[in-house]
Amino acid sequence: MHKKIIAYFLAFIALGMTSAALGPTLPGLAEQTGTQLSGISFLFATRSLGFLAGAILAGRVYDRLPGHPLLMSLLLLIGVSLALVPLVNQLWLLTILMFVAGFVESGVDVGSNTLLVWRFGEKVGPYMNSLHFFFGLGAFLSPIIIAQTMLATDGGIRLAYWVLALMVLPAAFAFVRFPSLPIRQRDTAVHGGKANWFLVVLVAAFLFLYVGAEVAYGGWIYTYAITLDLSSATVAAYLTSFFWGSLTVGRLISIPITAKLHPKTLLSGALAGCLLSMAVLIMGQSSAVALWAGTIGLGLSMSVIFPTTIALAEHTLSLSGQITSYFFVGAALGGMSIPWLIGQLFETIGPVVTMLIILATLLVAVAVFGLLIWQARLHQEAKAARLTT
Protein backbone atom coordinates (compact mmCIF):
# COMPACT_ATOMS: atom_id res chain seq x y z
CA MET A 1 0.00 0.00 0.00
CA HIS A 2 2.84 2.42 0.75
CA LYS A 3 4.29 1.88 -2.73
CA LYS A 4 0.86 2.61 -4.20
CA ILE A 5 0.72 5.92 -2.32
CA ILE A 6 4.16 6.80 -3.70
CA ALA A 7 2.72 6.39 -7.20
CA TYR A 8 0.13 9.06 -6.37
CA PHE A 9 2.90 11.31 -5.08
CA LEU A 10 4.89 10.91 -8.31
CA ALA A 11 1.76 11.78 -10.28
CA PHE A 12 1.39 15.00 -8.33
CA ILE A 13 5.04 15.94 -8.82
CA ALA A 14 4.40 15.67 -12.56
CA LEU A 15 1.16 17.64 -12.23
CA GLY A 16 2.91 20.39 -10.27
CA MET A 17 5.72 20.69 -12.83
CA THR A 18 3.18 20.98 -15.65
CA SER A 19 0.99 23.51 -13.85
CA ALA A 20 3.87 25.85 -12.98
CA ALA A 21 5.46 25.81 -16.44
CA LEU A 22 3.19 28.34 -18.15
CA GLY A 23 3.96 31.41 -16.02
CA PRO A 24 7.77 31.58 -16.48
CA THR A 25 7.47 30.72 -20.19
CA LEU A 26 4.66 33.20 -20.90
CA PRO A 27 6.93 35.89 -22.46
CA GLY A 28 8.70 33.18 -24.49
CA LEU A 29 5.39 31.80 -25.75
CA ALA A 30 4.28 35.34 -26.64
CA GLU A 31 7.44 35.76 -28.71
CA GLN A 32 7.03 32.29 -30.22
CA THR A 33 3.50 33.08 -31.40
CA GLY A 34 4.04 36.78 -32.17
CA THR A 35 1.41 38.03 -29.69
CA GLN A 36 1.22 40.51 -26.82
CA LEU A 37 0.84 39.57 -23.14
CA SER A 38 -2.88 40.40 -23.20
CA GLY A 39 -3.31 37.86 -25.99
CA ILE A 40 -1.03 35.12 -24.66
CA SER A 41 -2.65 35.39 -21.20
CA PHE A 42 -5.70 33.80 -22.79
CA LEU A 43 -3.80 30.52 -22.47
CA PHE A 44 -4.53 30.57 -18.73
CA ALA A 45 -8.24 30.68 -19.46
CA THR A 46 -8.01 28.07 -22.20
CA ARG A 47 -6.14 25.57 -20.06
CA SER A 48 -8.55 26.13 -17.20
CA LEU A 49 -11.47 25.70 -19.59
CA GLY A 50 -10.00 22.35 -20.59
CA PHE A 51 -9.55 21.52 -16.92
CA LEU A 52 -13.19 22.44 -16.36
CA ALA A 53 -14.40 20.19 -19.15
CA GLY A 54 -12.23 17.36 -17.89
CA ALA A 55 -13.36 17.80 -14.30
CA ILE A 56 -17.02 17.54 -15.31
CA LEU A 57 -16.36 14.14 -16.88
CA ALA A 58 -13.59 12.79 -14.67
CA GLY A 59 -15.66 12.12 -11.56
CA ARG A 60 -18.21 10.08 -13.48
CA VAL A 61 -15.46 8.08 -15.16
CA TYR A 62 -13.67 7.26 -11.90
CA ASP A 63 -17.03 6.16 -10.44
CA ARG A 64 -17.27 3.56 -13.20
CA LEU A 65 -13.80 2.47 -14.37
CA PRO A 66 -10.57 1.29 -12.65
CA GLY A 67 -8.58 4.34 -11.62
CA HIS A 68 -4.94 3.35 -12.09
CA PRO A 69 -5.04 2.60 -15.83
CA LEU A 70 -6.81 5.94 -16.30
CA LEU A 71 -4.13 7.79 -14.35
CA MET A 72 -1.34 6.16 -16.34
CA SER A 73 -2.95 7.03 -19.68
CA LEU A 74 -3.59 10.63 -18.67
CA LEU A 75 -0.03 11.14 -17.45
CA LEU A 76 1.32 9.89 -20.77
CA LEU A 77 -0.91 12.41 -22.55
CA ILE A 78 0.46 15.19 -20.33
CA GLY A 79 3.98 14.26 -21.41
CA VAL A 80 2.98 14.39 -25.08
CA SER A 81 1.31 17.80 -24.69
CA LEU A 82 4.41 19.25 -22.98
CA ALA A 83 6.64 17.99 -25.79
CA LEU A 84 4.43 19.64 -28.42
CA VAL A 85 4.16 23.12 -26.82
CA PRO A 86 7.50 24.54 -28.13
CA LEU A 87 6.79 23.23 -31.63
CA VAL A 88 3.65 25.35 -32.08
CA ASN A 89 4.10 28.92 -33.35
CA GLN A 90 0.46 29.81 -34.00
CA LEU A 91 -1.66 31.08 -31.12
CA TRP A 92 -4.86 29.33 -32.16
CA LEU A 93 -3.11 25.97 -32.34
CA LEU A 94 -1.34 26.55 -29.03
CA THR A 95 -4.73 27.45 -27.55
CA ILE A 96 -6.14 24.08 -28.61
CA LEU A 97 -3.11 22.29 -27.18
CA MET A 98 -3.50 24.08 -23.85
CA PHE A 99 -7.17 23.09 -23.75
CA VAL A 100 -6.19 19.44 -24.22
CA ALA A 101 -3.44 19.76 -21.59
CA GLY A 102 -5.92 21.18 -19.07
CA PHE A 103 -8.41 18.42 -19.90
CA VAL A 104 -5.98 15.60 -19.11
CA GLU A 105 -4.49 17.40 -16.09
CA SER A 106 -7.94 17.53 -14.49
CA GLY A 107 -8.26 13.77 -14.83
CA VAL A 108 -5.03 13.26 -12.90
CA ASP A 109 -6.03 15.84 -10.28
CA VAL A 110 -9.59 14.62 -9.71
CA GLY A 111 -8.55 10.98 -9.86
CA SER A 112 -5.68 11.18 -7.39
CA ASN A 113 -7.71 13.17 -4.87
CA THR A 114 -10.73 10.89 -5.22
CA LEU A 115 -8.78 7.65 -4.87
CA LEU A 116 -6.91 8.94 -1.82
CA VAL A 117 -10.19 9.93 -0.15
CA TRP A 118 -11.61 6.48 -0.86
CA ARG A 119 -8.56 4.86 0.71
CA PHE A 120 -8.41 6.88 3.94
CA GLY A 121 -11.90 8.38 4.45
CA GLU A 122 -12.15 10.91 7.30
CA LYS A 123 -8.49 10.24 8.20
CA VAL A 124 -7.36 11.53 4.81
CA GLY A 125 -6.10 14.91 6.11
CA PRO A 126 -2.37 14.16 6.56
CA TYR A 127 -2.27 12.04 3.39
CA MET A 128 -4.05 14.75 1.40
CA ASN A 129 -1.55 17.37 2.56
CA SER A 130 1.26 14.95 1.70
CA LEU A 131 -0.18 14.52 -1.79
CA HIS A 132 -0.36 18.27 -2.34
CA PHE A 133 3.11 18.70 -0.85
CA PHE A 134 4.39 16.77 -3.85
CA PHE A 135 2.37 19.01 -6.18
CA GLY A 136 4.21 21.93 -4.61
CA LEU A 137 7.52 20.11 -5.03
CA GLY A 138 6.86 19.71 -8.74
CA ALA A 139 5.75 23.34 -9.05
CA PHE A 140 8.90 24.43 -7.21
CA LEU A 141 11.21 22.42 -9.46
CA SER A 142 9.56 23.46 -12.72
CA PRO A 143 10.64 27.15 -12.85
CA ILE A 144 14.17 26.17 -11.75
CA ILE A 145 14.40 23.65 -14.59
CA ILE A 146 13.05 26.27 -16.98
CA ALA A 147 15.49 28.94 -15.76
CA GLN A 148 18.50 26.62 -16.08
CA THR A 149 17.57 25.37 -19.54
CA MET A 150 16.86 28.91 -20.73
CA LEU A 151 20.32 29.95 -19.54
CA ALA A 152 21.82 27.01 -21.41
CA THR A 153 19.96 27.84 -24.63
CA ASP A 154 20.13 31.67 -24.60
CA GLY A 155 16.52 32.12 -23.53
CA GLY A 156 14.88 29.37 -25.58
CA ILE A 157 12.02 27.43 -24.03
CA ARG A 158 12.07 24.33 -26.27
CA LEU A 159 14.52 22.30 -24.18
CA ALA A 160 12.69 23.24 -20.98
CA TYR A 161 9.42 21.74 -22.18
CA TRP A 162 11.11 18.61 -23.48
CA VAL A 163 12.90 18.01 -20.18
CA LEU A 164 9.61 18.40 -18.30
CA ALA A 165 7.92 15.98 -20.72
CA LEU A 166 10.54 13.30 -20.02
CA MET A 167 10.17 13.78 -16.27
CA VAL A 168 6.48 12.88 -16.46
CA LEU A 169 7.17 9.35 -17.73
CA PRO A 170 8.26 7.76 -14.41
CA ALA A 171 5.00 8.91 -12.81
CA ALA A 172 2.97 7.32 -15.59
CA PHE A 173 4.66 3.94 -15.40
CA ALA A 174 4.50 3.86 -11.57
CA PHE A 175 0.86 2.68 -11.82
CA VAL A 176 1.58 -0.37 -13.99
CA ARG A 177 2.23 -2.69 -11.06
CA PHE A 178 -0.69 -1.76 -8.78
CA PRO A 179 -4.34 -2.86 -9.00
CA SER A 180 -6.96 -0.13 -8.68
CA LEU A 181 -8.86 0.60 -5.47
CA PRO A 182 -12.48 -0.60 -5.19
CA ILE A 183 -14.93 2.02 -6.49
CA ARG A 184 -16.96 3.75 -3.78
CA GLN A 185 -20.47 2.80 -4.82
CA ARG A 186 -22.56 4.81 -2.37
CA ASP A 187 -22.83 8.58 -2.57
CA THR A 188 -24.15 10.06 0.68
CA ALA A 189 -23.09 13.60 -0.03
CA VAL A 190 -26.51 14.56 -1.31
CA HIS A 191 -28.66 12.83 1.30
CA GLY A 192 -30.83 15.28 3.14
CA GLY A 193 -31.79 17.41 0.15
CA LYS A 194 -31.11 21.01 -0.72
CA ALA A 195 -29.05 21.94 2.33
CA ASN A 196 -26.40 19.38 1.42
CA TRP A 197 -26.29 20.56 -2.18
CA PHE A 198 -25.88 24.10 -0.89
CA LEU A 199 -22.86 22.91 1.09
CA VAL A 200 -21.38 21.32 -2.05
CA VAL A 201 -21.87 24.62 -3.91
CA LEU A 202 -20.18 26.56 -1.09
CA VAL A 203 -17.13 24.30 -1.17
CA ALA A 204 -16.95 24.70 -4.95
CA ALA A 205 -17.29 28.50 -4.63
CA PHE A 206 -14.57 28.67 -2.00
CA LEU A 207 -12.22 26.65 -4.22
CA PHE A 208 -13.13 28.90 -7.16
CA LEU A 209 -11.82 31.89 -5.23
CA TYR A 210 -8.80 30.22 -3.66
CA VAL A 211 -7.53 28.51 -6.82
CA GLY A 212 -8.15 31.70 -8.79
CA ALA A 213 -5.89 33.58 -6.37
CA GLU A 214 -3.22 30.85 -6.30
CA VAL A 215 -3.04 30.37 -10.08
CA ALA A 216 -3.10 34.13 -10.66
CA TYR A 217 -0.20 34.74 -8.30
CA GLY A 218 1.87 31.80 -9.49
CA GLY A 219 1.20 32.68 -13.12
CA TRP A 220 1.67 36.46 -13.01
CA ILE A 221 4.35 37.07 -10.36
CA TYR A 222 7.11 36.52 -12.94
CA THR A 223 5.75 39.17 -15.32
CA TYR A 224 4.80 41.46 -12.40
CA ALA A 225 8.37 41.42 -11.05
CA ILE A 226 10.15 42.09 -14.35
CA THR A 227 7.64 44.75 -15.45
CA LEU A 228 8.24 46.73 -12.24
CA ASP A 229 12.02 46.19 -12.61
CA LEU A 230 12.12 44.47 -9.24
CA SER A 231 14.20 41.62 -10.64
CA SER A 232 15.82 40.25 -13.77
CA ALA A 233 14.14 37.55 -15.82
CA THR A 234 16.23 34.79 -14.21
CA VAL A 235 15.63 36.07 -10.67
CA ALA A 236 11.91 36.38 -11.41
CA ALA A 237 11.87 32.70 -12.40
CA TYR A 238 13.48 31.87 -9.06
CA LEU A 239 10.90 34.08 -7.33
CA THR A 240 8.18 31.96 -8.94
CA SER A 241 9.97 28.86 -7.68
CA PHE A 242 10.12 30.28 -4.17
CA PHE A 243 6.36 30.85 -4.22
CA TRP A 244 5.74 27.22 -5.12
CA GLY A 245 8.59 26.17 -2.84
CA SER A 246 7.05 27.90 0.16
CA LEU A 247 3.79 26.20 -0.78
CA THR A 248 5.70 22.92 -0.65
CA VAL A 249 7.39 23.63 2.69
CA GLY A 250 4.07 24.69 4.20
CA ARG A 251 2.47 21.42 3.19
CA LEU A 252 5.38 19.45 4.60
CA ILE A 253 5.15 21.29 7.91
CA SER A 254 1.37 20.87 8.02
CA ILE A 255 1.37 17.06 7.65
CA PRO A 256 1.62 16.37 11.43
CA ILE A 257 -0.47 19.44 12.24
CA THR A 258 -3.45 18.25 10.18
CA ALA A 259 -3.64 15.11 12.32
CA LYS A 260 -4.27 17.27 15.41
CA LEU A 261 -6.19 20.38 14.27
CA HIS A 262 -9.73 20.48 12.90
CA PRO A 263 -9.75 21.53 9.23
CA LYS A 264 -11.74 24.70 9.94
CA THR A 265 -9.13 25.88 12.48
CA LEU A 266 -6.29 25.29 10.04
CA LEU A 267 -8.16 27.05 7.24
CA SER A 268 -8.91 30.08 9.43
CA GLY A 269 -5.23 30.57 10.23
CA ALA A 270 -4.23 30.07 6.60
CA LEU A 271 -6.63 32.70 5.32
CA ALA A 272 -5.41 35.19 7.94
CA GLY A 273 -1.84 34.57 6.75
CA CYS A 274 -2.88 35.16 3.14
CA LEU A 275 -4.36 38.56 3.94
CA LEU A 276 -1.31 39.59 5.97
CA SER A 277 1.01 38.60 3.10
CA MET A 278 -1.07 40.55 0.60
CA ALA A 279 -0.85 43.61 2.86
CA VAL A 280 2.97 43.32 2.77
CA LEU A 281 2.96 42.99 -1.02
CA ILE A 282 0.67 45.95 -1.65
CA MET A 283 2.20 48.34 0.90
CA GLY A 284 5.72 47.46 -0.24
CA GLN A 285 5.07 47.21 -3.96
CA SER A 286 8.23 49.15 -4.84
CA SER A 287 10.45 47.01 -2.62
CA ALA A 288 12.14 43.81 -3.76
CA VAL A 289 12.43 42.74 -0.11
CA ALA A 290 8.68 43.12 0.41
CA LEU A 291 8.07 41.22 -2.83
CA TRP A 292 10.13 38.25 -1.66
CA ALA A 293 8.75 38.33 1.90
CA GLY A 294 5.16 38.59 0.72
CA THR A 295 5.65 35.86 -1.88
CA ILE A 296 7.08 33.41 0.64
CA GLY A 297 4.45 34.31 3.24
CA LEU A 298 1.64 33.89 0.73
CA GLY A 299 2.98 30.52 -0.37
CA LEU A 300 3.23 29.27 3.20
CA SER A 301 -0.26 30.52 4.01
CA MET A 302 -1.85 29.09 0.87
CA SER A 303 -0.12 25.73 1.28
CA VAL A 304 -2.80 23.98 3.32
CA ILE A 305 -5.95 25.54 1.87
CA PHE A 306 -6.79 23.24 -1.04
CA PRO A 307 -6.04 19.84 0.58
CA THR A 308 -7.60 20.91 3.89
CA THR A 309 -10.76 22.04 2.10
CA ILE A 310 -11.08 18.59 0.53
CA ALA A 311 -10.46 17.01 3.95
CA LEU A 312 -13.13 19.28 5.47
CA ALA A 313 -15.59 18.22 2.78
CA GLU A 314 -14.90 14.52 3.40
CA HIS A 315 -15.20 15.15 7.15
CA THR A 316 -18.69 16.55 6.60
CA LEU A 317 -19.83 14.54 3.57
CA SER A 318 -19.06 11.18 2.00
CA LEU A 319 -17.49 12.03 -1.32
CA SER A 320 -18.03 10.16 -4.54
CA GLY A 321 -15.98 10.84 -7.65
CA GLN A 322 -18.83 12.90 -9.08
CA ILE A 323 -19.16 15.13 -6.01
CA THR A 324 -15.39 15.60 -5.88
CA SER A 325 -15.44 16.61 -9.53
CA TYR A 326 -17.89 19.44 -8.72
CA PHE A 327 -15.24 20.91 -6.42
CA PHE A 328 -12.70 20.77 -9.23
CA VAL A 329 -15.16 22.42 -11.59
CA GLY A 330 -15.26 25.37 -9.19
CA ALA A 331 -11.47 25.34 -8.94
CA ALA A 332 -11.12 25.25 -12.72
CA LEU A 333 -13.45 28.21 -13.17
CA GLY A 334 -11.41 30.21 -10.68
CA GLY A 335 -8.13 29.26 -12.33
CA MET A 336 -9.62 30.29 -15.65
CA SER A 337 -11.22 33.62 -14.80
CA ILE A 338 -8.98 35.39 -12.27
CA PRO A 339 -5.66 35.13 -14.20
CA TRP A 340 -7.50 36.04 -17.42
CA LEU A 341 -8.98 39.15 -15.76
CA ILE A 342 -5.52 40.24 -14.64
CA GLY A 343 -4.21 39.75 -18.17
CA GLN A 344 -6.90 42.01 -19.60
CA LEU A 345 -6.07 44.84 -17.18
CA PHE A 346 -2.31 44.40 -16.72
CA GLU A 347 -1.19 46.63 -19.59
CA THR A 348 -3.96 49.26 -19.32
CA ILE A 349 -4.00 49.77 -15.52
CA GLY A 350 -0.52 48.56 -14.66
CA PRO A 351 1.09 45.72 -12.70
CA VAL A 352 -0.55 46.83 -9.43
CA VAL A 353 -3.82 45.38 -10.70
CA THR A 354 -2.34 41.93 -10.11
CA MET A 355 -2.18 42.37 -6.34
CA LEU A 356 -5.44 44.28 -6.08
CA ILE A 357 -7.45 41.59 -7.85
CA ILE A 358 -5.85 38.80 -5.83
CA LEU A 359 -6.55 40.66 -2.57
CA ALA A 360 -10.20 41.21 -3.53
CA THR A 361 -10.52 37.52 -4.43
CA LEU A 362 -9.14 36.44 -1.05
CA LEU A 363 -11.45 38.82 0.84
CA VAL A 364 -14.49 37.29 -0.86
CA ALA A 365 -13.06 33.84 -0.08
CA VAL A 366 -13.02 34.71 3.63
CA ALA A 367 -16.71 35.63 3.48
CA VAL A 368 -17.60 32.40 1.66
CA PHE A 369 -15.56 30.41 4.17
CA GLY A 370 -17.58 31.86 7.04
CA LEU A 371 -20.80 30.86 5.30
CA LEU A 372 -19.34 27.40 4.59
CA ILE A 373 -18.50 26.76 8.25
CA TRP A 374 -21.97 27.89 9.31
CA GLN A 375 -23.62 25.59 6.78
CA ALA A 376 -21.35 22.67 7.75
CA ARG A 377 -22.39 23.06 11.38
CA LEU A 378 -26.07 23.01 10.41
CA HIS A 379 -25.46 19.90 8.32
CA GLN A 380 -23.73 18.09 11.18
CA GLU A 381 -26.49 19.04 13.61
CA ALA A 382 -29.16 17.78 11.22
CA LYS A 383 -27.19 14.57 10.70
CA ALA A 384 -26.87 14.04 14.46
CA ALA A 385 -30.60 14.67 14.92
CA ARG A 386 -31.45 12.02 12.31
CA LEU A 387 -29.22 9.49 14.05
CA THR A 388 -30.95 10.02 17.42
CA THR A 389 -34.47 9.61 16.04
Q: What pLDDT is recorded for position 370?
A: 93
Residues 313, 387: contact at Cβ < 8 Å? no
Q: How far apart are CA 141 and CA 16, in angstroms?
A: 9
Instruction: Kindly state the average pLDDT of the residues 100-127.
Output: 83
pLDDT tens digits for 57-67?
887 888 777 77
The domain covering 2-174+188-388 belongs, at the CATH homologous superfamily level, to MFS general substrate transporter like domains (1.20.1250.20)
pLDDT tens digits for 284-337?
888 889 999 999 999 999 988 998 898 888 777 766 667 778 888 888 788 878
Q: How far apart are CA 168 and CA 180, in angstroms?
A: 20
Q: What pLDDT is recorded for position 2?
A: 61
Full-prediction pTM beyond 0.85? Answer: no
Residues 216, 354: contact at Cβ < 8 Å? yes
CB atoms within 10 A of CB 193: 9
Q: How far apart are CA 167 and CA 12, in angstroms?
A: 12
Average pLDDT, the chain: 84
Residues 246, 267: contact at Cβ < 8 Å? no
Q: What pLDDT is recorded for position 166?
A: 93
Q: What pLDDT is recorded for position 386?
A: 65
DSSP string, 179-208: PPPPP-----TTTTSHHHHHHHHHHHHHHH
Candidate from 93-97, 178-182, 229-233 with smallest mean pLDDT: 178-182
pLDDT tens digits for 5-49?
888 899 999 998 988 888 788 888 888 888 887 777 778 778 878
In sequence order, which residues have a C-beta less than 8 Å from that of residue 379 and are 6 or more positions away?
A: 192, 195, 196, 199, 316, 317
Q: How far apart are CA 123 and CA 110, in angstroms?
A: 18
Res 185 pLDDT > 70: no
